[in-house]
Amino acid sequence: MARLLTLINSPYSLGAAAIFFASCMNAMIKGLSVYESVVVITAWRYALGALLVSVLWLAFRPKLPGWKAVPFHVFRGFFQISAASLFFWSVTQIPLATAAALGLTGTLMIGPLAWLLMREPLKRDVIIGTLVGFAGAIFLVNNETNLLSGSAEGPVYGYLAPILASLCHALSVVLLRFRSQSEDPIVVAFFANTLPALYVLPVFFLLDVQPTTELFAGYVLSAFFGVSFWSLTTIAYARAPAARLAPITYTQLIWAALIGFFLFGEFPGPSTWTGAAVIVGACIYVMRSNSSSTIKATQ
């Protein structure tokens, strides 16, 4: 029993569970979009998420960093809500697995953004890996939409949205590096689910957001999945280096493919898996390059 509890509480198990919850949330958003707009769904997801994470905070009572941290998290929350909204919209336009594959490009953007905003060194291997990864993304998008031929077809913006969402997400990740102090995982989850809700509050006053009982249950589930994802992710990354947990992120492709197939009848073609393989390979190459440079710096 003790060994089982240790396994369950390991950062790898927590990280894997977080990815599963994220995949469930995306699937729930896709299902709800049949009945309601993504704007309204996103508003309910973050509004209810703020309530759920407030209960979590009351249960654990972590020490908040103070009011000085609020403007930073509000600013960062803008990029977080932008990333979520764009990605949520993309899964209503394209298969879940395709959106998940293109969403992985965010890993490739962190290095260049850190160099641009924080003047962190940018290795040649990182540049090469980033270019290869985006080549895989362009290959995927072009094969699905003929984007480069000048006669684009299909939901072109649906394929581009996950990449833009990844840019916003990468910006939010890089912004966290500006903070030298470490924060409790519950605090991070608290801010990640409450302050972004400020941006969606106007939706409740400008649009008709009176849901049916079934829709409201779906909103609650999407909020639960979202809060679970953030909470488990922050706890996992607090217990293990990001480089070791990174491969778990790629399991989202598997979950997205399985959920997409069984719930929505989606079966991405060879071009999706080829592009995804190139993107994942590039992400692993970049992560290993960054890890090796970190090891050398500490020797």
Instruction: Summarize pLDDT for 252-271 with one digit per residue, the tens.
Output: 999 999 999 999 999 888 98
Widest Cα–Cα separation across the chain:
61
Average pLDDT over residues 163-171: 93
Radius of gyration of the chain (CA): 19
Average pLDDT over residues 225-230: 90
- pLDDT score at 60: 74
Candidate from 142-156, 214-228, 273-287 with smallest mean pLDDT: 142-156
Rounded to whole angstroms, the Cα distance separating 26 from 156 reads: 20
Angle (CA) 82-84-87 rounded to 5° is: 105
Angle (CA) 24-270-151 rounded to 5° is: 100
- pLDDT score at 151: 77
pTM score, whole prediction: 0.89
241 burial (CB, 10 Å; 0-12 / 13-18 / 19+) is exposed
Q: How far apart, in Å, are the Cα atoms of 185 and each of 9, 57, 191, 232, 237?
A: 15, 11, 10, 9, 9
Candidate from 125-129, 141-145, 224-228, 291-295 with smallest mean pLDDT: 291-295
Average pLDDT over residues 214-240: 88
- pLDDT score at 4: 47
On the question of pLDDT at 118 being above 80, the answer is no
Angle (CA) 95-102-262 rounded to 5° is: 25
User: How many other C-beta atoms are found inside a 10 Å radius of the C-beta of residue 192?
Assistant: 25
- pLDDT score at 290: 67
Rounded to whole angstroms, the Cα distance separating 151 from 27 reads: 31
